[in-house]
Chains A and B, each alone.
Chain A
Amino acid sequence: MTGRLGFLGVVLALVMASVGAHAQVSQQALTAAEVGQIISRSVQEAQARNVAATISVVDRVGNVLAVFQMTGATGKLRVTSGKGIVRTNGLEEVQDTFTNLGANGSPTTRLGAIAKAITGAYLSSSGNAFTTRTASQIIQEHFNPGESFSPSGPLFGVQFSQLPCSDLSVRQATNGVPTGLVDPTAGPKRSPLGLSADPGGLPLYKAGVVVGGVGIEINGVYTIDPTVADQDSSVEEIVALAGQFGFQPPDDIRANRIFVEGKSLRYIDQDVNVLASSPASAPAFVNGTGGNLVAVNGYYAGGGPLAGTAYGNPESGFATDPNGDYSGVGGVVFVLFNGANPPVARFRPRDSINPTVAGGGLTTAEVRQIIRSALTVAFASRAQIRRPLSSQVQVTVSVVDGVGNILGMARTFDGPLFGTDVSLQKARTATLFSNTNAGTYLGTFSSTVGGTPAAQNANGVTIADYVTAVRRVLGSNALQDGVAFADRSGGNLSRPYLPDGIIGAGNGPFSYPIATWSPFNTGLQLDVVLDNIAAHVLFADVGGANNDTGANCTGFTATAGTLISRISNGFQIFPGSVPIYRNGVVIGGIGVSGDGIDQDDMVSFLGLHNAGLVLGTGLGNAPPARRADQLSAPGGFLRYVNCPFKPFLGSRQNNVCHGK
């Protein structure tokens, strides 16, 4: 049965290959003049509304092309979910913490504007145009927010991706701290505060292709939209609309035409008809008029607007696979590049470091096959968050070894950018939680902020307490018994309600009770990177003696032979990854991100399964008896994966992951 399905998948992929081969994104980029235009239009609208904005424009891969602060703009950013949660709970009211540290003024609205612009660019593609408002809708404790009892948003936790400490992300500039790759044009670039859910961040398009994003911060409150039942009138969003004018996405791919669980996603709450100015007649951009371009450490040097890099050009850090590793998988495959001249592809398949190949680790050929099989499934599958209907799934696939070293990474040509970092987060998270020393490892946390007690982060949270909490729920052997945790399983434990969404239920052990939980206080996920974010904010806003955080998230012990932790771009807690097993032992993980979470699940799970069949080397998914869905938790068994309805294009097959 399984062989038949696998074969069918291959056939489907071949069928779809003809479609995919023709559908490639043209290379588009913003010019410096266009960036100026976007600023000028935003400024004009803000002036018409008697507000002063901080404006950021980025390109698709996250290069900051401009940060402009209008005269009189609010400089300091207050971080709050609006739930009344006080300081020392994650990032809630974190500005007060900075004040206590003598950095009154941090975080700045500049960082907020950058995070918003990056969110608009990173969540979008030629098949879907999402905004920070969309992000707000899909990261809360219920989906939709306000629909009591419904499970959490599908991208619950995505706000803590693209972190400034990510080892994957490329740096624009550095102040000498070990930072991984530094390059002026290659992405994916990091975001100072992760992704933003505060309305006012929109994608920018040229000819139907994402060329970047614009982010507007005005009121100095970095927040979320707690309900989608109403129709907001956000000045930040309206000003962003003016800035976006001329670079709008096609109507047909906007979030409001994309449905998840029968619910349409939010694009914006006000349309261009409410603009108080005429963007088309905005004056030419002149720095110094109405405000100034401002430098931001690590992101933008000021001086003038920059031109964007065209996604697809190796200089952007993403382009067609030059090595033929992924030919014949059903569509055009992009890989990452380092931006050097000439650019060199990053993350070609390689042997596992830990465990070693001799010790049962993945070989180069195995890594390649796993990614190939996953991409094959993706190209054969029905996208959930793309239009037109019957589009192929577009995702990034990452494979790591047993301690989180990147063994390979590739993506379908138009996957949303955020999935690059997220797929890696997912792969590492599943791998770590499935390891027999997961509990021990989580206990190795040590703050990177001076003066903080050992094993605690700067907010005073003892990370090892999460292990205790998990064992209280799952039993004393949890996190050391080698049970396989897909990211969906770990995600079950990372929600403020367990079972997910059920008001009145207790919190998942990796999360906080709903009274103190918020998208700015997610639990373990944030607590282990909080210190990194704080250090980075001080670097970006204040600089000087404040060193940037390194390219290594979390305060966990670095793995032997590397300088990074096993979770060196942060945990991810929404579905889309499974651990890789051989002979009953976890040897790595595969993470997938970019389409619907059920699609992400299927591409990782079925991709790994199919690769196992092709390779015949004993690797594959965890044995069913070892999976986390054998674990009983409040409300029933944990979930492992949830493969989507009507998964494949051109086929009526369903439940394709059953029995595997």
Chain B
Amino acid sequence: MANRLRLAIASTAAAVLLAAVAPAQAGKERLRTVTAGEKPILVQDSVRRIPQRRQGAIAPIPPADLSRIGPPQPNLPSEFIPIPDRWRLVDSLGVKVNFWDPYNQNTLKADRPLPGTQDFFFNLAVISDTVIEPRRLPTPISPNSTQKPGSNDTFGEGEQLFYLQNLVVSLSFLQGDTAYRPPDIEFRFTPVFNFSRAEVEELAVLRRNPAEGTVRNDVHVGIQEAFFDYHLRNVSSRFDFDSFRIGIQPFSTDFRGFLFQDNQLGFRLFGNRDNNLFQYNIGYFRRLEKDTNSGLNDFGEEIRKDEFFIANLYLQDLPRLGFVSQFTILHNRNDEDSEFFFNKNGFIERPASFGDERLHKYNVTYLGYNGDGRVGRAQLTTSFYYAIGEDNHSQLNGNLIDDNADIRAYFFAAEPSFDFDWIRVRGSFLLASGDSDPFDNRQEGFSALFENPQFAGGDTSFWIRQGIPLIGGGGVQLTQRNGVLAELRSSKEHGQSNFNNPGIVLVGLGTDFDVTPELRISTNFNNLRFEDTSNLQVLRNQGEIAEEIGWDISAAVIWRPLFIQNIVMRLSGAALVPGPGFKDLFATSQDGDDEILYSILANGTLTF
């Protein structure tokens, strides 16, 4: 079991990294934190899928774990987490201790207690994550000056190159019998050292000031984990338990990161019952400000006036064996209506430069159901949220006498998949409601707290990976980097949720080919549409905006040269074939010719 702990730690760190993928569109590169919840699940998945999946293979019974989340998306590198089998090895087998070898008995990896103690362990994980990301995005010509003469129009040259290097160092100190039950105490501290570089072809894209040019280098150190975890008690002989965790910790509201998946400051009580048939979380989080370009937590800024309460319950084998159901209620209270906030690059974030640009605040409650597991031969993940709340001032309706707005929005996603020997076929469907009348007192566009969707190809997909500025429609993003929703918020990292948005409908088909144990190829075909373009039409004062965004076509190759998770290379490429709605909004090149919008991601992770 020691290994399980270690794994959890390592995998968390790995996920932090992996996520740490690149930057954002114009002006906002950021780290993506895939850090969702605890990772034992990842372990389970690893066992299931690596080595090669075989038809009829029996999935091991999930380990007892608290904040269990479901299997990760099949093509995420984060699933390639070291298999925890070192614990089987014992000194008597003649294994030599080598501090540089994470794959054998190692005190630095919590395989052995610290010298002179019986139950104090230390776990170190170091991960290097490198991203090189060429892409082409719709890019505006700076309104106040240009990079080159002859720039007579609104849309400029869209070639961009993003480079990112993260170094994650996770330090964990824990006490307990790590072999047969959860540890009693854990302190964990995970700083992430980030360097990013972005190159674009137009001015005022990376920073508001055009004088700062078309290249931006930035460094940041973020604290992505800093928590204390205390095992309160065991409530059964099978180690069902209650624990709490306080501090900056990873948390995910659902299996795929649709509503919230981030490392944030909070307090969480969690545990399980009835031989792990029930698991629960009760938590309170107050969001830290993010660093603009890395997406990591930023302690140089005041803590945000944004908090949420969460309670959820996981039920194993509901409605049938092998399927986990989760019920959740989350209440988000945002009180950011007192001062303007500008990001590090000089762009306004709160309130968004949108509508009447007046400060506002909102309360919204999300009621959710999430499911994940097997249904016969199929795997199924599903998610449903209903958002109900109130915005104290609608930025769009312009009604001075009654500017309050009710929030009523919904979200649904499902991804069934089927295995055929070494091939997995996935179907993806996602619907986020859109607002149908920007001038009424209802906001019907679904907006999340902090999405990080591992869905429909995840960051392999163009639409999910890239942030696209709503050129001509305000200082907001049509879609966020590492997001699937068309939320029209200033940014995922700094901005408020925005329920005045066009919504989105995604229908996709994907396949994963486990060509060899060390090589996987994945493909994704997604069709994207806006649910309702009324808001977009008003924002751009443009009557003709079709619903179809287009086809998002992508493929990824994942290579683990040594069959282990410690070295993982990924290369993916995606292209957006613009549909009428996209063409109504953007030009894809300066000369008016249709250029393919693409997103290439070269990613290497090295893990100790």
Could you list which residues of chain A lie within 8 angstroms of chain B, going by C-beta atoms? 144, 146-151, 228-231, 254, 256-264, 266-271, 273, 382-390, 492, 499-502, 505, 598, 605, 624, 627, 629-630, 633-646, 649-650, 652-660
Contacts and interface: CB of A to CB of B under 8 A. Distances in A.
A254 B399 CA distance: 11
B347 interface: yes
Given A229-B357, A257-B538, A633 B209 contact: no
Contact of B539 (A262, A267, A501, A649): A262
A389 B148 contact: no
B541 A384 contact: yes
Contacts of B589: 655
A150 B151 contact: no
Contacts of B587: 645, 654-655
Given A151-B144, A270-B400, A633-B145, A643 B154 contact: yes
B470 interface: yes
A637 B340 CA distance: 30
Nearest to A643: B153
A655 B142 contact: no
A649 B155 CA distance: 18
- Which 3 pairs of residues, A with B, have the shortest CB-CB distance? A262-B474, A390-B543, A256-B398
Interface in B40-60: none
Interface of B is mostly: loop
Contacts of A502: 144, 208-211, 346
Contact of B145 (A384, A638, A649): A638
13 contacts: A229-B357, A229-B359, A256-B398, A258-B541, A260-B541, A273-B401, A390-B544, A624-B149, A629-B146, A635-B145, A636-B144, A639-B151, A646-B540
Nearest to B545: A646
Contacts, number: 223
Interface stretch (B91-99, B348-356, B408-416): B348-356
Interface of B: 141-155, 203, 208-211, 340, 342, 346-348, 351, 353-359, 395-396, 398, 400-401, 439, 470-476, 537-544, 580, 583-587, 589-592
Contact of A654 (B203, B209, B211, B586): B586
B210 A635 contact: yes
Nearest to A641: B152
A507 B269 CA distance: 57
Contacts of B346: 148-149, 502
Nearest to B589: A655
A498 to B, nearest CB: 8
A230 B143 CA distance: 26
B401 A629 contact: no
B590 A655 contact: yes
A262 B145 contact: no
Contacts of A598: 154
Contacts of B475: 150, 261-262
A653 B357 contact: no
A105 B57 CA distance: 95
A4 to B, nearest CB: 11
A652 B154 CA distance: 14
Contacts of A658: 150, 152-153, 590-592
Contact of B143 (A256, A630, A642): A642
A263 B145 contact: no
Interface centre among B211, B358, B590 (most CB of A within 10 A): B211
Contacts of B340: 146-148, 229
Contacts of A637: 145-149, 151
Nearest to A648: B544
Listed residue (A254, A501, A645) with the most chain B CB atoms within 10 angstroms of its CB:
A645
B144 A654 contact: no
A480 to B, nearest CB: 20
Contacts of B586: 645, 654
A266 B357 CA distance: 10
Contacts of B203: 635-636
A228 B491 CA distance: 22
